[in-house]
């Protein structure tokens, strides 16, 4: 018989720890991959509940509360439309098919805050209370 000794890693003491270590490493790698991948594609993206041809406003951030719709056929194009609401507009969606400028000033004065939003855009939290809009032809 030979006097060959098993390497240290082949002894029972290390063999029983190897699957545990491998499991911990794989678990850590999967957790890291999940973090790097981010949330699922549809997570955090609100459903656009604004009908085609409309600009919709909500009284709460995150599209909360009862929405109001402003149809393009009633607002017209390239004219200032005051948002007649009894509450503050804190989130909105543009589904008009045109760019829309949202104004803090109720008369579309550019001295106050304003931003132009492309069609299909969703704004869950406006940086200011929206008081008027202007729909552009293109």
Between 32 and 67, residue with greater pLDDT = 67
Taking the C-alpha atoms of residue 71 and residue 69, their distance in angstroms, rounded to an integer, is 6
Average pLDDT over residues 19-29: 62
Give per-residue pLDDT as tens, 73-110: 777 788 999 988 788 899 999 999 999 999 999 999 99
Domain ranges for the chain, please list them: 8-37, 54-135
Please work out, in degrees rounded to the nearest 5, the angle formed at the alpha carbon of residue 97 by the alpha carbons of 96 and 101.
65
CB-based contact 119:77 (threshold 8 Å) = no
Q: What DSSP letter does each residue of 47-87 carry, written as one string?
A: ---SPTTEEEEESBTTTBS--EEEEHHHH-SSSEEE---SS
* 130 beta partners: 89
Q: What DSSP letter does each residue of 12-44 carry, written as one string?
A: HHHHTTHHHHHHHHHHHHHHHHHHHH-S-TTTT
H/E element holding 94? strand 91-95
- Which pLDDT belongs to residue 38? 47
Report which listed range, 32-41, 73-82, 128-137, is most confident.
128-137
Between 74 and 113, residue with greater pLDDT = 113
CB-based contact 95:120 (threshold 8 Å) = yes
The radius of gyration of the chain's CA atoms, rounded to the nearest angstrom, is: 29
- Which pLDDT belongs to residue 86? 81
Domain 54-135: state its class.
mainly beta
**pTM, full prediction:** 0.64
- Which pLDDT belongs to residue 17? 61
């Amino acid at each position: 018989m030979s006097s060959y000794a098993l390497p240290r890693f082949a002894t029972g003491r290390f063999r029983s720890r190897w699957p545990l270590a491998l499991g911990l490493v794989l678990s850590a790698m999967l957790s890291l991959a999940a973090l790097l991948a981010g949330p699922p594609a549809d997570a955090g993206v609100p459903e656009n509940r604004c009908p085609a041809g409309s600009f919709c406003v909500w009284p709460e951030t995150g599209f909360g509360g009862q929405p109001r719709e402003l149809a393009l056929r009633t607002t017209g194009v390239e004219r200032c439309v005051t948002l007649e609401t009894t509450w503050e507009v804190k989130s909105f969606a543009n589904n008009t098919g045109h760019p829309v400028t949202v104004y803090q000033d109720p008369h579309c004065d550019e001295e106050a805050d304003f931003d132009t939003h492309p069609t299909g855009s969703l704004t869950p939290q406006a940086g200011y209370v929206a008081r008027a809009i202007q729909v552009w032809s293109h």
